[in-house]
Structure 1
Amino acid sequence: MSKKRRIRRILKWSLITFSALLVILFCFGLWFKSLLPPKQIGLENSLAQHLPYLSENKVTKRGKILAVVTSTDKMGASEKSTGYELTELARAYYVFEANGFEVDIASPLGGKPPVIIDDDDMGAYDYAFLNDSIAQYKTSHTIAVENIDPSEYQAVFFAGGKGAMFDFPDNKAIQAIVREYYQSNKVVGAVCHGPAALVNVLLDNNRPLLEDKMVSGFTNEEELLLIPDAEAIFPFLLQDKLTAQGAHVNEGTMYLKKISHDTNLITGQNPWSTWELAETMIKQLGYTPKYREVTAEENAVRILSVYHQQGSQKARELIKKMMVTEHKEVNRVLIASHSIIAAMKGDIGQFYDIIGLVSYAKKQVSS
């Protein structure tokens, strides 16, 4: 066989193989998409007054909580946009309001801060927040933290968003609020990148607030998976900074709920920790949180947690119990997103396991 014929043959079979792979990937993509539910019609029109948690059995006013969000819209010298995470603010805001606390919203610069909205993470409460005229007025007219009177509030909550890494750590007004609240036994809460507000805070004894504290925050693993050059973009990695200041970082599974509760300091690892963190703050304030029906997203987080701790079979049993016996909704999109995370990490076994959970959950819908 001549050299030219061999080359043509190699090219031919390479093209056939490549085409076959494209067909397989296309078919897999169609199948994967078929596992996911269609977007819920009308979800974006959700209103607070139509959500029983917010409209029924209203709690008598108990005081005020301050929520603080970032004013930063770019990640350092990069052109990557940032802001506060809407879901983290919205969910905490409504937990506080439902439990009798008026919420004021502040930011380092005041005014209208930048916001990050991830459509895949949005639920009824998040859209209700966008449609809530009072909440939107507060987010468009945030109070500059330097103008805050700390005595007006029983607690402070720092929402995440990568911008917090730039304008929370060295803000003197934020440091003063955190120091005063912690030392006077008021509640300090922070979620995801929100714990950046806690770094560089010195107590009156000149020791770091974080020294020997159990805390959670966005982990290095979570940060670097999505932003491989994070160390060059951010002034520090949050987990590294927390550790350097003497904190004991309570690290959970990537992108799943994890809360740390150290006396009056309550922190959460990521956006999926927000519901529990806010309700833990209510408990620390001395109240039993108002009953709230667990969301489909929270059910998905619980299933994924069981999978990581006990394996696929136990996760499937929980799916069946939730969906068939208890008639609860499960967010299949969130579970599916974790299969993509597994693929990004190169864990093919976990990738197929989690896709199997999505497929199993879909089957329960029609059972």
Structure 2
Amino acid sequence: MTTKKVLIVLTNVTRYQGTDDATGLWLGEATEFAEELQRANIPFDYVSPKGGFVPLDPRSMKYTDKSIMAFYETPDFQQRALTHSLRPDQVNPANYAAIYFTGGHGVMWDFPNNRELQSISLAIYQNNGFVTSVCHGVAGLLNLKDDQGNYLIAGKSITGFTTMEEVIAGKKRVVPFLNKQVAQKHGAHFKKKRAYREFAIQDGQLITGQNPFSARKVAQLLIANLSK
């Protein structure tokens, strides 16, 4: 078992840009993933583009269960994740075996072009670590490039929140892009299963999950690799 940590990335965005509608972190995508790591005795830290406060998507609070709420109520999660998340400049990539991008629609604005997070991700990847995401968190992978300027997802099978899922969520018109379109434009093979069903895949050092119901599966795939 690795002694290195996993870095969990959270959004700072409170609203759908250009609207008054609230968004933020999709709670279960952080708690369920972290809980799986905790069970496997793998340490983790939380980071966000700006550091500090992380808002919760109010819609995500309607889709909680006992385990999500129990983890949410821990002082550790409230302090380290929601109140005092690390800034990227406080992170040493060498300490991490993987990075995990959580979702919630907010990430579509502060993940795709954050150079500090991209630098951390690439360093972890180049150190044979894993770059992982769930749902909208794939936004953190879409624009990642290697030192030669090639998209990291090019030629890779990945998944993320689908266009159909955006339609069902009623957000297709307000999101700044559609994950599948950008993924395919950047050379990835975008895979999917039925809307709102658990689905996660691994292609080399990339592990991605389709929707909020896939967070535990992403964690389990990662843990299996870190346990080798």
* Alignment partner, residue 18 of structure 2: 77
Aligned residue for 2:224?
A: 283
**8 A Cα contact 2:202 2:208, kept in partner:** yes
Q: 1:130 Cα shift?
A: 2.0
1:91 to 19, 28, 32: 32
Partner SS, residue 88 of structure 1: helix
Partner of residue 146, structure 2: 203
- Whichever residue aligns with residue 277 of structure 1, its letter is V
More helix by share: 1
Residue 93 (structure 2) pairs with residue 130 (structure 1): no
The structure 2 residue matched to 1:101, chosen from 42, 45, 50, is 42
The match for 2:204 is 263
Distance (Å, rounded) in 1 between the aligned partners of 2:163 and 2:2:
39
TM superposition score normalised by structure 2:
0.94
C-alpha deviation, 1:205, in angstroms: 2.0
2:89 is matched with: 146
1:114 is matched with which residue: 38, 52, 55?
Answer: 55
TM-score (norm 1): 0.59
Q: What is the aligned-residue RMSD (CA, Å)?
A: 1.5
Q: Distance in 1 between matches of 2:139 and 2:48?
A: 14
Q: 1:10-30: CA deviations, max 9, x gaps?
A: xxxxxxxxxxxxxxxxxxxxx
Shift of 1:158: 0.7
The structure number with the bigger radius of gyration is 1
Instruction: Give unmatched runs, 5+ long, in structure 1.
Output: 1-59, 288-367
1:203 Cα offset (Å): 0.6
- Is 1:156 the counterpart of 2:99? The answer is yes
Judge conservation of contact 1:129–1:136 (CA < 8 Å) in 2.
no
Distance, in Å, in 2 between the alignment partners of 1:119 and 1:150 is 32
Match of 2:183 in 1: 242
Aligned-residue offset at 1:62: 3.0
Identity %: 31
Q: Where do 1:330-349 residues align within 5 Å?
A: none
Cross-structure match for 2:161:
218
Segments of structure 2 that go 5 or more residues without pairing to the other structure are none
Give the superposition deviation at 1:151. 1.0
2:123 maps to which of 180, 185, 190? 180
Counterparts of 1:48-67 in structure 2 under 5 Å?
62-67=3-8
Q: Retained in 2: the 8 A contact 1:216–1:249?
A: yes
**Residue 198 of structure 1 aligns to a residue in which SS?**
helix
**What is the aligned length?**
226
CA contact (8 A) 2:94 2:123 kept: no
Question: Structure 1 residues 61, 209: closer, same or farther in 2, change over 3 A?
Answer: closer
